[in-house]
Structure 1
C-alpha cells in the first residue's frame, strides 16, 4: 500500500501543481506506474473546479462561474494539458513530415494552429457547461476531468511512445495490466455513481461524445507520428473532455 500511495502522490505531482507535505520518493518504476491513478487525480482536479464553480455561482452568473472554474483547473494543473493541445496542433498543422512535426512540438513557443485550438476548445467548454443547470455543472466537472484522463491512459495502453525522451517517456513503458485495471475501475466507479445524481441516458450521450473526441484526436496525430507523445496525451485529454460536455448537451 505504501508503494501505491507513493505512485498516487507522484501522479499528483506530475499532473498538477498541488504541493505535497512529504516527498513521495521517486523511482523510475513508481513513476512508470502513475497512469493507474490519472483518473483519480482528474477527479481531484474536477472536485476543486466544482467547488470554485459552486462558490462563484452563489453570487455570479453561470457563465462567469464556469470561466472561474475552468481557470482554477488551469492554475491547478499549470496548463499542463492545454500546453500539450497547443503543441500538438502546432506540430501536426505546421509540420510536413513526422520529424518536422516532432521538432515543432518540442518548441516552447506557441503558433497559430495551437492558439486557434486553445481558443476553440476553451470556448466550447465554457459554452457547453454554461448551457447546463448549476447542479449538473458541479457534477459534470468532476466526471469530465476523471474520464478524460482515463481516455489519455487508454492511448498509453494501446499505442507507442515515439520519442527517445520527453514528458511522456517516464510513463511510456510501465503501464501494467494491473495499472490499467485500476484506471479503468476508477472510471467505472465514476460512471456507476452517475445515476445517483443524474439520469443515466445523459451519461451514455456523454460517453459517446468522449469516445468521439478520443478517436478523432488520435486520427489527427497517429497517422503522421506513428504513435503518441506527452503533448498528444494532453490533446487527447482536452478533446475528450470537451467531447463529453458536448455529448451531454445532445441529451439535454
Structure 2
C-alpha cells in the first residue's frame, strides 16, 4: 500500500500518516526499490486503533501506548492497554466519589431550615488549627486554598487571625472532599464557582454528570478500539513467535 492508500483507508492525511510513523505509533514502513514507502494492512489497523485510543485517553497517552507496544513483548503490551481501561475506571470512581460528597453536603444543608443567628454562627466558627484538625489537612493547605480563592475565612482581632464561620467551614469541607476524590485545583475552582449560583450544589452536580457522560463516551471509544488493538497484539505475538522459530535449537 502506498502512503495515499493508507491515508484514504485510515482517514488521516498523508502528512499525519508520515508523522505518526515518525513518532512510532505505527511500525516503520518497508521501502520499495524506488525508495517509496510500502505499507501493509497492519498499518491501517494501528492507525484506526490510535484514533479511538486518542479519543479515549488523549493523544499523548495514545502515542505513548502505541509507540511502546511495538517495542514490548505481547504480555507487556497487553498490560499497557489494560492500564488505559484502569485509568478510565479510576476517573469514573473519582467523579462518583465527588458526587457522593456533594450529595451528603446537600442533604446536610437541606436539614437546616433557617440560618443560625449571628451569635450562634460566631460560636460555631473554627480557628485554622481546629478546622485543619477536623478535615485532617495541614494548616498550610487551608492557607493555600484561601490563596486560590476556594475558601473565604474572615479576619478578626488585631492579629488578623483566620476565623472560619460556618459558610467557610462548608467551603473547606467541599474542597477537601473534591481534592480527596482526585480533582486538581482548576477543576475544584470550576465546581466551587458553580456553588456560587442560586442552585449551587445542583449546578456542581450537573458539571459532574457531564464529566461522567464524557468518561462513558471515552469508554465506548476504548471498547471500539478493542478489535484493532487485539490485532496489534496478535501481530506482536506473531512476530515474537517468528523470532523464536528462527533461533537455532
More strand per residue: 2
What's the TM-score, normalizing by structure 1? 0.23
What's the TM-score, normalizing by structure 2? 0.24
More helix per residue: 1
The higher relative CO (CA closer than 8 Å, separation ≥ 6) is in 1
Say which one has the larger Rg.
Answer: 2
